[in-house]
Structure 1
Amino acid sequence: MTERTVFQSMPRRLLVSLGPAATVHEAACVMTKAGCGSVLVIDAASTMLGIVTERDLMTRVLAKALDPAKTPLSSVMTPHPQCIKPDTKVADAVLIMIERGFRHLPVVGEGGHILGVFSVRDALPREIGTAVSLAEFNEQVNDSLG
Structure 2
Amino acid sequence: MAERTVFQSLSRRHVLSLGPQSSVWEAACVMTRANCGSVLILDTPGTLLGILTERDLMTRVLAKAQDPQTTRVSEVMTPNPHCVAPDMKVSEAVLIMIERGFRHLPIVSAAGKILGVFSVRDALPREIGDAVSLAEFNDQVNDALG
Q: 1:6-50 CA distances to partner (integer Å, 9 max, x unpaired)?
A: 000001111100000000000000001111100000000000000
Tell me the amino acid that sits aligned with residue 66 of structure 1. Answer: Q
Q: Which residue of 2 aligns with 1:42?
A: 42
Q: Match of 2:111, SS?
A: helix
What is the CA–CA distance in structure 1 between the aligned matches of 2:33 and 2:109, rounded to whole Å? Answer: 26
Q: Match of 2:106, SS?
A: strand
Q: Match of 1:111, SS?
A: coil
What is the CA–CA distance in structure 2 between the aligned matches of 1:14 and 1:35, rounded to whole Å? Answer: 12
What is the CA–CA distance in structure 1 between the aligned matches of 2:42 and 2:90, rounded to whole Å? Answer: 25
Tell me the amino acid that sits aligned with residue 64 of structure 1. Answer: K
Q: Which residue of 2 aligns with 1:71?
A: 71
Please list every run of at least 4 consecutive aligned residues from structure 1 whose deviation after the TM superposition is greater than 4 angstroms.
none
TM-score (normalised: structure 1):
0.99
Q: Which residue of 2 aligns with 1:12?
A: 12
Q: Given the alignment of the two structures, is residue 104 of structure 1 paired with residue 104 of structure 2, yes or no?
A: yes
Unmatched 5+ residue regions in structure 2?
A: none
Q: Match of 2:115, SS?
A: strand
Q: How many residues align?
A: 146
What is the CA–CA distance in structure 2 between the aligned matches of 1:96 and 1:79, rounded to whole Å? Answer: 17
Tell me the amino acid that sits aligned with residue 89 of structure 1. Answer: K
